[in-house]
Structure 1
Amino acid sequence: MSTSSNLSPPPIPDDVEKLLNDLPKVRVWDAKDIYQWEGFWFPPAFVKSTITLRSRFQARDDDIFLASTIKTGTTWLKALSHSLSLHHAPPVDIYDASAPRLLHTHLPYVVLSNSIKNSASKIVYITRNTKDTLISMWQFFNSLYRPNQDPFPIEKAFDWFCSGVHQFGPFFEHVVEYWQESQKWPQKILFMKYEELKSDPKGQVSKIAEFLGRPFADENEVDAVLWRCSLGRLKNLEVNKSGNILNDVPNKSLFRKGEVGDWKNYLTPEMEEQINQICRIKLEHFGLFL
């Protein structure tokens, strides 16, 4: 069943650089330029690659897409989903192009290709408490752009976050898009909350397994996956203590505390109330509470 209109994919502009020059641009974290396109803010490379993806990417019915905005539990979801995708499956041949694919994106729903939306592929989306997302994002970019320096002013990061001006933001619209689609197509999109995964890992991981068509046979199998993918264990793996996932993103920067409620150590009561008010306006109207 289609989850979007069967429109032809948009053409690739002849001059993407000209497109970027015409888009609104903001310098964030005193380090990087991001561009507003299709209602969201992207690093320039993502504008270019997403235009190509929308026009050329062909999803398969057995594809699994993990989707999220940044700093909402993405790395943990990746580890869990990889373990689950191998559950009851034969050994994977990484050189077999026909093998099932597990893919991740930070892209908002609106810019996904029709191929993804209209296929029988599945999407697991994870989000997180708004205030914890802000603090995790702030800490993450401090580690990237201000190592061994004073942190970027939390007040300025707060203002950017609330106004939606940050990588893959606005956060609120990103979350709402996937939430609404998951309500319309629950067999297509599983919407998850980081806090529920933390408080009920067995129940939530079992839900992912059922959604992906790989249910557990017994509780021991659930325990094995949770042990293999525990945050403490992942953080202490050598591969996650060194090396880079991207040129300028050390693997170790993807792991911090992973705690719920850490925002209380950083935000003032006035900041808390302002974000709560935005959540009431932007999220609760749709029956979504974070």
Structure 2
Amino acid sequence: METTKSLLMHSSVSLKPLLAQLPKESFWEGLDLYQWEGFWYVPRHLEAAKTVQSHFEARDDDVILASPMKTGTNWLKALCFCIMKRAKSDDDDDDDNEEPLVDEHPFSYVRTLEIQVYTTNAPPDLSGMSSPRLFHTHLPYNALPDSIKNSKCKIVYITRNPKDTLVSTWHFFNSLRTAEQGPYPFDKAFDSFCNGVHLFGPFFEHGLQYWKESSKMAHKILFLKYEDLKRDPKGQLKRLASFLGRPFVNEEAIDKVLWTCSLERLKNMEVNKNGVSPWTGLPKSSFFRLGVVGDWKNNFTPKMKDQLDHITSMKLEGSGLEFET
């Protein structure tokens, strides 16, 4: 199996002239990131993003999940997969809907366009997939293909408090490091995040693009916050299902999906605890950790908190978008 670094870094010869012209930064002393149209990518993801733009043809009934990294992506994948899988009649006795997540990790059911779908030499033929199709992307809104923007397909975006996002990202990428290396210094990770230099970053610009578009097209883009989903899972799940055109008709159906997709349950399933992702080489267990709100308090100094809160306030000023501090 390829190493994780080679899986992330691979790019074709055709991309090299473009890379030579783009701003470049080192991410955590291990990966080279390139800034394309305002956001940072490893070569493999950049090449795939350009292929997505050129070849992905959205259908009007597609559902596209979007997110920055480490903001509740796999939880959202599980929830939306279960919602879309449910029969419209809400037949809760249908055994086919009982345990959809036992055999595979959520990323196997809802594939990420630029990481799992468009990473082969030849663009895949997706025309044979049955509708409605469900995909995910970490791409910013400006990098989405026109077919997604111009069709009637729906987008569900999830984001998270930037402090918890940073801590979750730090733990996630530490799984790339050897025991001899140890965890990457958190203060350096903090500086990189504040400067916007991280995969698919900057964080704030990513969120603001989807926030502004959702304000203009509430019928097309649903904007979710991880903290709201944690605080009021039932209310947010109703909102999500209604947006997807699959509203619940009874409380039992809601409770069933929430139990099936609970973070604690997903984290402790054997299929999510063992093995590695064939697309990234990362341990499957690294995709689910604590899943709590406020874990940043275990890593931030008071000075770090004040600094990132100040950056958050400046970046979001006048937008109407707010995060808990």
For normalisation by structure 1, the TM-score amounts to: 0.91
* 1:219 to 1:147, Cα distance in 2 relative to 1, 3 A: farther
Post-superposition CA distance 1:94-139 (Å, at most 9, x none): 9962332110000000000010000000000000001000111011
Equivalent residue for 1:276, pick from 309, 319, 325: 309
For normalisation by structure 2, the TM-score amounts to: 0.82
2:171 is the alignment partner of 1:139 = yes
2:79 is the alignment partner of 1:70 = no
2:245 is the alignment partner of 1:213 = yes
Q: Which amino acid aligns with 1:129?
A: N
Post-superposition CA distance 1:220-270 (Å, at most 9, x none): 000000000011110111110112222422110001100100101110111
**In 2, Cα distance between equivalents of 1:183 and 1:144:** 37
* 1:218 to 1:89, Cα distance in 2 relative to 1, 3 A: closer
Shift in Å at residue 145 of structure 1?
2.5
Shift in Å at residue 55 of structure 1?
1.5
2:229 is the alignment partner of 1:197 = yes
Shift in Å at residue 89 of structure 1?
5.0
- On the 8 A contact 1:31/1:145 being kept in 2, the answer is no
**In 1, Cα distance between equivalents of 2:179 and 2:147:** 41
The residue that corresponds to 1:257 in the other structure is 290
- On the 8 A contact 1:65/1:104 being kept in 2, the answer is yes
Q: Which amino acid aligns with 1:266?
A: N
- On the 8 A contact 1:146/1:152 being kept in 2, the answer is no
Post-superposition CA distance 1:163-194 (Å, at most 9, x none): 10000000010000000000000000000000
**In 1, Cα distance between equivalents of 2:198 and 2:52:** 22
Q: Which amino acid aligns with 1:78?
A: K
The residue that corresponds to 2:57 in the other structure is 58
The residue that corresponds to 2:103 in the other structure is none
**In 1, Cα distance between equivalents of 2:319 and 2:280:** 38
2:20 is the alignment partner of 1:21 = yes
**In 1, Cα distance between equivalents of 2:230 and 2:219:** 23
RMSD between superposed Cα atoms in Å: 1.9
* 1:68 to 1:241, Cα distance in 2 relative to 1, 3 A: same
Q: Mean alpha-carbon deviation: is it higher for 205-214 or for 237-246?
A: 237-246
Query: Quick one: percent identity of the two aligned structures?
Result: 55
Deviant stretches of 4+, over 3 Å: 89-92, 146-149
**Structure 2 segments unaligned to the other structure (5+ residues):** 1-12, 90-95, 98-108, 110-125
Equivalent residue for 1:267, pick from 277, 293, 300: 300
